[in-house]
């Protein structure tokens, strides 16, 4: 949908309700980002411009640690969030944001649907691999070099 040839057609016939999955990939790259991410951001931004349209942004990682990217994601929901300082939110701003932003953790989901939802259990096992021949020599050389650099 990011191709210019289909973009105009999509935007002219865009439905009233749009769901964007993996929405964190549609944040404004802020100078550092792929061409695809920039195109994705531009398309979703165009879709979101029509404030009569309903847009649902789904992501498991809304905040990657880059506040500008997070603000650009929130800006797709409302212009008032584009320049908001996330560190200095007033109580009123928090209430407004809460009407647009829903976050659920695994604990929230398990509490809401006890016995119905099953997340896979993490099995943190470690296993060893025996290096031989050239692989062992390469590993030993790299390890030796790293140890000499630390001195």
Answer yes or no: is 128 within a domain: no
Q: When comparing pLDDT for 124 and 29, which is higher?
A: 124
Answer yes or no: is 19 within a domain: yes
For residue 68, the model assigns a pLDDT of 82
> Cα 131 vs. chain centroid, distance in angstroms?
38
Number of helices and strands (H, E) in the chain?
6, 2
Average pLDDT value for residue range 68-90: 82
Q: Is the pLDDT of residue 50 over 80?
A: yes
Q: Is the pLDDT of residue 88 over 70?
A: yes
C-alpha span between 28 and 43 (Å, rounded): 11
For 43, the domain range is 4-122
pLDDT confidence band for 101 (50 / 70 / 90): confident
Total structural domains within the chain: 1
Answer yes or no: is 91 within a domain: yes
Q: Is the pLDDT of residue 32 over 70?
A: no
Q: pTM of whole model > 0.85?
A: no
């Amino acid at each position: 949908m990011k191709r210019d040839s289909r973009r105009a057609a999509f935007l002219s016939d865009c439905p009233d309700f749009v769901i964007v999955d993996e929405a964190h990939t549609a944040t404004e790259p802020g100078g550092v980002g792929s061409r695809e991410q920039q195109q994705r951001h531009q398309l979703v931004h165009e879709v979101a411009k029509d404030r009569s349209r309903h847009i649902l942004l789904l992501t498991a990682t809304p905040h990657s640690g880059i506040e500008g990217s997070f603000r650009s994601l929130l800006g797709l929901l409302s212009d008032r969030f584009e320049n908001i300082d996330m560190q200095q939110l007033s109580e009123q701003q928090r209430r407004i944001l809460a009407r647009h932003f829903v976050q659920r953790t695994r604990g929230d989901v398990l509490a809401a649907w006890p016995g119905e939802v099953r997340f896979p259990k993490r099995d943190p096992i470690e296993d060893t691999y025996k290096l031989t021949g050239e692989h062992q020599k390469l590993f030993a050389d790299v390890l030796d070099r790293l140890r000499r650099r630390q001195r």
